[in-house]
Amino acid sequence: MNEPMGGFTFHPERAFVMREMHSRPFTLIPSPRRILHYAFMPQSEARVNDRRAVRALCEARGLPGPPSGAKYHRADFGSFILRWEGHSEFTTYTFEINADPGEAPFSPPPQSFANLMAMVPPPGPLLVMVDLHLYDAPLDAPPPAQFNGREVAVSHVENQNATIISDFHEGVAGFVAIAVQNHALNPAQCGALVQRLLEIETYRTLALLGLPEAQALAPKIRQIELELPQIIDEMRVGRSIEGNRSLLDRLTILAAELEHGASSTAFRFGATKAYSQLIRLRLNAMDEQPVAGLTSWRSVFTRRFEPAVRTCAATQTRADDLAARLAHAAQLLRTRVQIDLETQNSELLHKMNDRAKLQLRLQQTVEGLSVAAITYYVSSLAERLFEGLHAAGAKVDPLIDTALSVPLIFLLITAVVWRIRARHKGE
């Protein structure tokens, strides 16, 4: 990397940002040309092995391979050109093969080139197969005979300098055939158009992966949508705290089921939305113009592709709305349970307070009885004392003196008890 002038320090991500703008450039593609395009869905480890396999193939032919961390590589093997691209979710192999101007479109069949993809191990499950034939033809040329008997989408593009034709069906050997009739495009324009068409077909297939997810999630959403009103109706009727807890458990289970389905489909639905937006951008960039009496590419995508995208979006919206309703219902029920618990706790506190008052009364009664008992016990000791003094010759009357001492003993014991009680209250 070049050193900055003026003593500046480059941002650590500047080199990556600068390379990213040129990571997948348009290539020059002369006409005629046969192009076979494959898209795979590799796992994390397979991505590294995939890059190594492409590097080994190039180095075996004396060509430089993709460097470590590269996302794009183009290698010219003479009889064909290989373009390898690593995307965040998929990996593509595109083979550009010289075509004979004298042969009919899509001749020879794509099985004749099976040896090309066999040179590298597949990095994962195969998802997209495109057989694109770029050839020179006049503006009024008919579609290739391969499309006879099927509904074909035909559009003029690039200011009517080319015509694109496809039926979007799996044809020979599973390939989706796309014919590009070149009327007046130069190699640079052909390269840009071919890349857009390959991206449209790749993104179309990837976007539609969200539809099975939506179809699998929809019955679960419907089941929860039917059960939620029943729970809310039960919430409206006064129930015990155990009943409210049971309803809350049911809501929690439904929310967990919905969250499991929504979280497992969130990425796929987001990818469907992103890919559909990219397709619209590619269609707009081609300056498509319909051909009179024929179905255009845009109309095909409007009728067959957009409903699937809207289904995914609607399913995600339903899931999000239902999750919000479940959360709101659960919050209401938690509030009711909390109020019931607070009411129950308040009742318990009142009962505890009543018990405390009763215990206090019992304690006061016991204290009164204790004062009387202790007074009787101490007065009995005083009587014994007075009888002893009387026997010893002291001038005391045990009976009268004992009677006189009882009030004093009672007052003294009462004062001691109140003092002990006041000390306990202070603590």
What pLDDT is stored for residue 28 in this prediction?
92
CA distance 143 to 165: 7
Q: Are 286 and 158 in contact (CB under 8 A)?
A: yes
Q: What is the mean pLDDT of residues 124-152?
A: 91
Average pLDDT value for the chain? 86
Tokens of 276: 């559909």
Q: How many angstroms from the chain centroid is the CA of residue 12?
A: 30
Please provide the DSSP assignment of 86-102 as one string: E-SS-EEEEEEEE--TT
Please provide the DSSP assignment of 185-230 as one string: --HHHHHHHHHHHHHHHHHHHHHTTHHHHHHHHHHHHHHHHHHHHH
Q: What is the pLDDT of residues 250-260, one digit of tens each?
A: 888 999 999 99
pLDDT at 427 over 60: no
pLDDT band for position 132 (50/70/90)? very high
pTM attached to this predicted model: 0.76
pLDDT at 5 over 70: no
pLDDT at 343 over 80: no
What pLDDT is stored for residue 368 in this prediction?
67
Q: How many angstroms from the chain centroid is the CA of residue 326?
A: 18
Q: What is the mean pLDDT of residues 69-95?
A: 91
What pLDDT is stored for residue 401 in this prediction?
75
CA distance 97 to 94: 10
Q: What is the mean pLDDT of residues 352-359?
A: 80
What pLDDT is stored for residue 9 in this prediction?
80
What pLDDT is stored for residue 216 in this prediction?
94
The domain ranges of the chain are: 24-185, 210-347, 359-426
The proportion of the chain whose per-residue pLDDT surpasses 90, expressed as a percent, equals 49
Q: What is the pLDDT of residues 161-213, one digit of tens each?
A: 999 999 999 988 899 999 999 999 999 999 999 999 999 999 999 999 999 99
Q: Which CATH architecture has domain 210-347?
A: Up-down Bundle (1.20)
Higher pLDDT, 425 or 212: 212
Ranges of H-type helices in 62-186: 114-117
Q: What is the mean pLDDT of residues 288-314?
A: 93
Beta-bridged to residue 37, according to DSSP, are 94, 130
Residue for token digits 């348009």? 26
Q: What is the mean pLDDT of residues 48-63?
A: 90
What pLDDT is stored for residue 367 in this prediction?
66
pLDDT at 272 over 80: yes
Q: Are 334 and 248 in contact (CB under 8 A)?
A: yes
Higher pLDDT, 68 or 273: 273
What pLDDT is stored for residue 59 in this prediction?
93
Range in 62-76, 134-148, 331-345 the model is least confident about: 331-345
Q: What is the mean pLDDT of residues 325-337?
A: 83
Q: Which of 195, 140, 129, 134 is nearest to 168 (CA)?
A: 129
Rg of the chain over all Cα atoms, to the nearest angstrom: 45
What pLDDT is stored for residue 171 in this prediction?
85
pLDDT at 133 over 80: yes
CA distance 320 to 406: 86
Q: What is the pLDDT of residues 365-387, one digit of tens each?
A: 766 667 777 887 788 887 778 77
What pLDDT is stored for residue 159 in this prediction?
93
pLDDT band for position 22 (50/70/90)? low
Report which residue type is found at 55.
R
Q: How many angstroms from the chain centroid is the CA of residue 427?
A: 59
Q: What is the mean pLDDT of residues 387-401?
A: 78
Q: What is the mean pLDDT of residues 17-24?
A: 64
